[in-house]
Amino acid sequence: ETLKFGCGFNIVPMWHPLRLAEDYATADILTGGRMIFGVGRGYHSREVETFGSPVIDNDANRELFEEQIEVIFKAFNQESFSHKGNHYSIPAEVPYRGYDLKEITLVPRPQNIPVETWQPIVSGGSIEFTARRGFNGVVALTGDQLVDDIFHKFRDACVENGRGGLLGENLALGLGFYIAETQEKAVSNLRPFHDERYKWFSPFGFVRYADEEGRVWGTPGAPARTPRIEDGVDQKAWICGPASDFVKHLREIEKKYPGLEHIILHWPEGMPRDAFLDQLRLFAKDVMPHFKSQ
């Protein structure tokens, strides 16, 4: 009854913005207003470029994405609208049934307005855009030094745009995890799936860890290798061990970021379904009750 649905994330440059807006609105109505809107710019060149949109050219990708977002939210929030931009002229400047069409209407529109929207944030550009648009930010599988930096920058950007000033507010933190009797057993069980995940993921530049001097992995002077599970544990991006350790870590996060209300649980791609379901059951049984009142 309380479960919400959404995509993490709809890669907007692979869509026409009106089609994405229509499909989201339809899903929101069919689910009784329980949809969450996740948006992203994309990073797979074989996907985005194949759809005729830029992603290799980062500036062009950002420009297109931001205009598409403008179109989508005009469609969501206005009974009728028009748009003139670098990529879209809506409605098209063509005669229609003997008159010139000046505005169009999205049919259907979402059941819940304003639309709850989430976007992954990493850099200053995405932080500023997300804060300015009133979106929520997602920071996932990221080393604790970088998490702290992003959370502070996002808080400051939100304050500049008239939003909440608590650290962690309007954010979700994604953590990888494996619960077992000991950290050694958890690391051993998780290793093959974790390592396979990062063999695939690292070449995209998404190892969001920092070294002792605060340098991001992959930048000059910092490690550039594929991370091991031990690295993820050291960076506090992956929580491995007894449920009590997970509870302790969440309590530390709760104290450090008083505005944070959302934790996302990650597992490495490739882990068998039954194994992950077992992990969710352990989390529900041994971790969640400690936060039940919240």
pLDDT of residue 65: 98
Residue 241: Cβ within 10 Å count: 21
pLDDT of residue 278: 96
pLDDT of residue 201: 86
Tokens matching residue 246: 């997970």
Lowest mean pLDDT: which of 30-34, 135-139, 152-156, 210-214? 210-214
Report CA-CA distances (Å) from 84 to 20, 76, 103, 159.
18, 17, 11, 30
| CATH node for 1-120 | 3.20.20.30
Asked if pLDDT for residue 294 goes beyond 70, the answer is no
| CATH node for 123-294 | 3.20.20.30
DSSP the chain: ----EE-TTEEGGGS-HHHHHHHHHHHHHHTTS-EEEEEE----HHHHGGGT--SSSHHHHHHHHHHHHHHHHHHHH-SSB-EE-SS-EES-SSEETTEE---B--SS--SSSSPPEEEE--SHHHHHHHHHHT-EEEEESB-HHHHHHHHHHHHHHHHHTT---STTTTEEEEEEEEE-SSHHHHHHHHHHHHHHHHHHHGGGT--B-B-TTSPBTTSTTS--SPPPHHHHHHTTSEEEE-HHHHHHHHHHHHHH-TT--EEEEE--TT--HHHHHHHHHHHHHHTGGGGTT-
What's the chain's average pLDDT?
Answer: 95
Asked if pLDDT for residue 215 goes beyond 80, the answer is yes
Model confidence over 99-113: pLDDT tens digits?
A: 999 999 999 999 999
Asked if pLDDT for residue 292 goes beyond 90, the answer is no
pLDDT of residue 123: 84
Asked if pLDDT for residue 283 goes beyond 90, the answer is yes
Model confidence over 234-272: pLDDT tens digits?
A: 999 999 999 999 999 999 999 999 999 999 999 888 899
Binning pLDDT at 50, 70 and 90, where does residue 204 land? confident
Given a contact cutoff of 8 angstroms between Cβ atoms, the answer to whether 146 and 209 are in contact is: yes
pLDDT of residue 2: 84
> Looking at the chain, how many residues does it have?
294
Residues 6+ apart with CB under 8 A from 70: 83, 85
Verdict on whether the full-model pTM lies above 0.85: yes
Domain with CATH 3.20.20.30 in the chain: 1-120, 123-294
Stretch 120-144: mean pLDDT, rounded? 95
Greatest CA span in the chain, whole angstroms? 75
Whole-number percent of the chain with pLDDT over 90: 86
Binning pLDDT at 50, 70 and 90, where does residue 30 land? very high
Binning pLDDT at 50, 70 and 90, where does residue 133 land? very high
